[in-house]
Structure 1
Amino acid sequence: MSTPPVVPSPGARRHRPAWAGRNYTLLTGAAVVTQLGSHGALIASAFAVLDAGGSSGDVGLVAAARTLPLVLFLLIGGALADRLPRHHVMVAANALNCVSQAVFAVLVLTGDPQLWQMMLLTALCGTGTAFFSPAAEGMLLSTVSGEHSNRAFALFRMAMSSAGVGGAALGGAMIAAMGPGWVLAVDALAFAVAGGLRAFLKIEEVPDRAPGGGLLADLREGWVEFRTRPWLWSIVLQFSVVVAVVGAAEAVYGPLVAREHLGGPAPWGVALACFGVGTIAGAVLMMTWKPRRLLLVGTLCVFPLALPSAALAVPLPAWGLCVVMFVSGTAIEVFGVNWMSTMHQEIPEDKFSRVSAYDWFGSVSMLPVATALAGPAEAAFGRSTALWGCAVVVLLGTAAVLFVPDVRRMTRRPHLPVAGSPKAAATPDHSTPDRAAL
């Protein structure tokens, strides 16, 4: 005689919020795993170069090798992600990241890695990121409903930041105790696990997308969406400068200041972890705070990104740097949630990945140049002067964006479905004035 199946109660069946569906949960879990590995790997790659006898210029070249493929392949990655099942693109990119980091780890652990080898492998990792990022952002945006978007994005980013805190702190400690090779190996394993989780994403939960007219036509459509929104292209232009100088300061000058003044990789890892703790604090704040002026509040919170460069220029002791990193992390997380909420509110679902690709492309386009020039700038002007210059550029670039009317006036629309979804198309919108009239 067969035993009747046990039917769980509704309370036992669901252990997560009603808005956190299967795809959202898998995306969040996979992102946590990836962050645990990648935050330590970023530190490990810099110290692998230094341990191999490289200079600050060599660290900059390896960092530039990671970001250059982003500039080259992001737009293609965005167009493909709006054409193909996004989770397939994500899994393939994770596989490439896994292989490249595994080979990098083997070279560091077993021999004397050459600069060209490290540049090539980090370039492959950057190529994977170029295809992964637009697909991942598009998948996340299409998974969340308008009503719960602020909370969902805040929770997602809080989970990523928490993993980043652990990854940076653990990575710094592992480098000090075991060397950078093992941290790179852990990163490769993390990509394998995350890719496995993303393979279970259900594409049928994503709204259908009409077939496009070809890759170039898709890119043109994405460009039209991008260039016709002043709030979008102006903030992306701002971040092309901000990301470049902040990235150069942290990827090139940070490890050098840590080695010479803070005591090595472990304190630098703790400082980066404090930035992550700050982003957690910012995400917790954004779980309940929904600013009406999305982009105005977000842009004001970019100003504190000048603080870490200034702290390294002084340089502050490790505890002071940790405080500065915490403050800047909190502030930038407020921007990040407001930015994702704005994208979710304003961009049609079938163009999420392409617009995200233009966003990423603009934001990282100057990073390879900045990281490659960080070493020569230090030689020409001195490290302290170069770092003060980074801080000033962040302040000026952020102040300039506040002159854009759409940035000051963009407001949150309550309970808006995903732009471009069937529900959104059936819901008339009377809450936003014609942008051309602003």
Structure 2
Amino acid sequence: MAGWGAMQTQGFNVFRLSRIVAALSATSAPIVFTFAVLQAAGNPDVLAQALGLQILAQLAALLVSGPLIDRLNRKWFLVAMQAAAGTTWACFAVVLLAGDPPGAVFPAFGGLTGLVSGLNGPATQSVLSHLVAREELKSKLADLRIALNTVSVIAPVAAGILLGVAPAGAVVLGLAAANLASALQLLRLPAMKAERPAVVARTADAGRGPLLPAWFWAAVAGTALMNVLWAGYYQLNGPVILRDTSTAPELAWGIASAALGAGMVLGGIVFKRVTFAKPRSTPLLLLAGKALPLAVLGLWPHPALLAFAAFCTGVMLEAFVVNFHAQLQLGVPGHFLGTAYSLDAFVGMALMPAGYALAASGSLDRAGSQLAAAGVTAFLALAAWFAVRMARDAGKVPERV
């Protein structure tokens, strides 16, 4: 048993280091790709095409990534996807450094990066329960997310600075190096079976119910609808409102984004040790905090107040994320976790364009629209909490972590 515990600790440490290195690329990639395309193509339409194909390819990959990871060797799938990401970015860097690439190159690379991201996401999310003992899963998950959220605060700023002093191709080459280094680190992972014996035993004890229980679908539906409003009335409307009300909108939005990430870091630290009596349902109530920045943008979009609201939202959002992922990995059989994560990501991403369209419609004045979105967000958090509490099959596996 001591040997197995030491192997688990080593496996988690290897995985965490790999994810941190990969996060240097993943959290910088949006800003690097955007400005690399704008600098090389000089045409916003090309950027729109590239980002559109990136989303479509990611959604298509999510449809197959979960079943693939659940049926293939997890370790080698992770290594292959991380190496594929590094190779894709390396090829893009070569094209940029060679100079004067044709416009069709950028949508093609957008599609490739989206494809690899869609295949890689569920794989990295579903592996933790194969590396960590049940009683340590929530704590280790929080440790991992604290590290990744810290990187998400620092790396985009560093990427922006580098883009100002170095060619975009050179910065993209750095993204490739980070992904390839992550792949090499993953080679040190221990072999992972399809599912742990403890999970099999719990599944057998729970009976022959559905592998994805009702509480999962209730939580996914509720969070997906909230993400629709967040995409439209925060991610889209936020920069637009600051452009009209702030003298330095780029700085104000950057500070708000950093504040959200910093709040998530603090949330991970706090809720690593906080245990809810109903960890599948209670944290959903905290998602009502996503209404705060929406309301601030409608009533008084002062940069300092928006940053404070984003920080508070980050703390509450992380409380939900840590508990949701822990409960998912504890309550779903290991051989079905990849599918669960791919479905969760697909539903959330597929509905985001509806949020953009809804926010762009402008059926109400700005303040009215933002306050309506804030109110509906709070209502959806309450509705999702109620739906999960009413999901009786949640009781088949003890909720307390």
The TM tier, using the shorter chain, reads 0.7 to 0.9
1:9 corresponds to = none
1:420 corresponds to = none
What is the alpha-carbon distance in structure 2 between the residues aligned to residue 117 and residue 251 of structure 1? Answer: 27
Question: Which of 151, 155, 159 is the equivalent residue of 1:171?
Answer: 159
2:22 corresponds to = 34
1:195 corresponds to = 183
Q: TM-score under structure 2 normalisation?
A: 0.80
What is the deviation of 1:112? 6.6
Q: TM-score under structure 1 normalisation?
A: 0.74
1:326 corresponds to = 311
- Answering whether residue 360 of structure 2 is matched by residue 377 of structure 1, we say yes
Listed as ranges, the matches of 1:47-196 within 5 Å are: 47-48=35-36, 62-105=50-93, 117-176=105-164, 178=166, 183-196=171-184
What is the alpha-carbon distance in structure 2 between the residues aligned to residue 387 and residue 126 of structure 1? Answer: 31
- Answering whether residue 389 of structure 2 is matched by residue 401 of structure 1, we say no
Counterpart of 1:241 in structure 2: which amino acid?
L
Structure 1 residues 124, 38: CA separation in 2 closer, same or farther (over 3 Å shift)?
same
- Report Cα offsets for 1:67-119 as digits up to 9, x if no partner: 32232222311111111111222222223322333444556666577775433
Is the 8 Å Cα contact of residues 279 and 400 (structure 2) preserved in structure 1? Answer: no
What's the % identity of the aligned pairs?
22
What is the alpha-carbon distance in structure 2 between the residues aligned to residue 391 and residue 54 of structure 1? Answer: 35
Counterpart of 2:33 in structure 1: which amino acid?
S
What is the alpha-carbon distance in structure 1 between the residues aligned to residue 333 and residue 371 of structure 2? Answer: 40
Is the 8 Å Cα contact of residues 286 and 334 (structure 1) preserved in structure 2? Answer: yes
Report the 3-state secondary structure (helix = DSSP H, G, I; strand = E; otherwise coil) of the residue aligned with 2:123: helix
Report the 3-state secondary structure (helix = DSSP H, G, I; strand = E; otherwise coil) of the residue aligned with 2:30: helix
Is the 8 Å Cα contact of residues 302 and 335 (structure 1) preserved in structure 2? Answer: yes
Report the 3-state secondary structure (helix = DSSP H, G, I; strand = E; otherwise coil) of the residue aligned with 1:225: coil
Structure 1 residues 343, 381: CA separation in 2 closer, same or farther (over 3 Å shift)?
same
Unpaired runs of at least 5, structure 1: 1-13, 210-222, 417-438
Report the 3-state secondary structure (helix = DSSP H, G, I; strand = E; otherwise coil) of the residue aligned with 1:342: helix
User: How many residue pairs were aligned?
Assistant: 383
Is the 8 Å Cα contact of residues 15 and 186 (structure 2) preserved in structure 1? Answer: yes
2:200 corresponds to = none
Is the 8 Å Cα contact of residues 82 and 350 (structure 1) preserved in structure 2? Answer: yes
Is the 8 Å Cα contact of residues 174 and 182 (structure 1) preserved in structure 2? Answer: no
Counterpart of 2:211 in structure 1: which amino acid?
E
Counterpart of 2:316 in structure 1: which amino acid?
A
Is the 8 Å Cα contact of residues 66 and 123 (structure 2) preserved in structure 1? Answer: yes
Report the 3-state secondary structure (helix = DSSP H, G, I; strand = E; otherwise coil) of the residue aligned with 1:305: helix
2:286 corresponds to = 301
- Answering whether residue 13 of structure 2 is matched by residue 25 of structure 1, we say yes
Is the 8 Å Cα contact of residues 378 and 386 (structure 1) preserved in structure 2? Answer: no
What is the deviation of 1:205? 6.4
What is the alpha-carbon distance in structure 2 between the residues aligned to residue 107 and residue 29 of structure 1? Answer: 30
- Answering whether residue 279 of structure 2 is matched by residue 291 of structure 1, we say no
Counterpart of 2:59 in structure 1: which amino acid?
V
Counterpart of 2:383 in structure 1: which amino acid?
A
What is the deviation of 1:343? 0.8
What is the alpha-carbon distance in structure 2 between the residues aligned to residue 152 and residue 273 of structure 1? Answer: 24
- Report Cα offsets for 1:334-369 as digits up to 9, x if no partner: 001110121122111222212222222222222355
Structure 1 residues 132, 386: CA separation in 2 closer, same or farther (over 3 Å shift)?
farther
What is the alpha-carbon distance in structure 1 between the residues aligned to residue 373 and residue 92 of structure 2? Answer: 30
What is the alpha-carbon distance in structure 2 between the residues aligned to residue 117 and residue 109 of structure 1? Answer: 13
Structure 1 residues 284, 208: CA separation in 2 closer, same or farther (over 3 Å shift)?
closer
What is the deviation of 1:161? 0.8
Structure 1 residues 378, 369: CA separation in 2 closer, same or farther (over 3 Å shift)?
closer
Question: Which of 320, 337, 341 is the equivalent residue of 1:356?
Answer: 341
What is the deviation of 1:264? 5.8
2:211 corresponds to = 225
Counterpart of 1:238 in structure 2: which amino acid?
G
Counterpart of 2:123 in structure 1: which amino acid?
A
What is the deviation of 1:34? 1.8
What is the alpha-carbon distance in structure 1 between the residues aligned to residue 277 and residue 298 of structure 2? Answer: 36
Report the 3-state secondary structure (helix = DSSP H, G, I; strand = E; otherwise coil) of the residue aligned with 1:403: helix
Is the 8 Å Cα contact of residues 75 and 357 (structure 1) preserved in structure 2? Answer: yes
Is the 8 Å Cα contact of residues 108 and 181 (structure 1) preserved in structure 2? Answer: yes
What is the alpha-carbon distance in structure 2 between the residues aligned to residue 164 and residue 202 of structure 1? Answer: 27
- Segment of structure 1 superposing worse, 274-283 or 386-395: 386-395
Counterpart of 1:72 in structure 2: which amino acid?
A
Structure 1 residues 269, 106: CA separation in 2 closer, same or farther (over 3 Å shift)?
farther
Is the 8 Å Cα contact of residues 225 and 355 (structure 1) preserved in structure 2? Answer: no
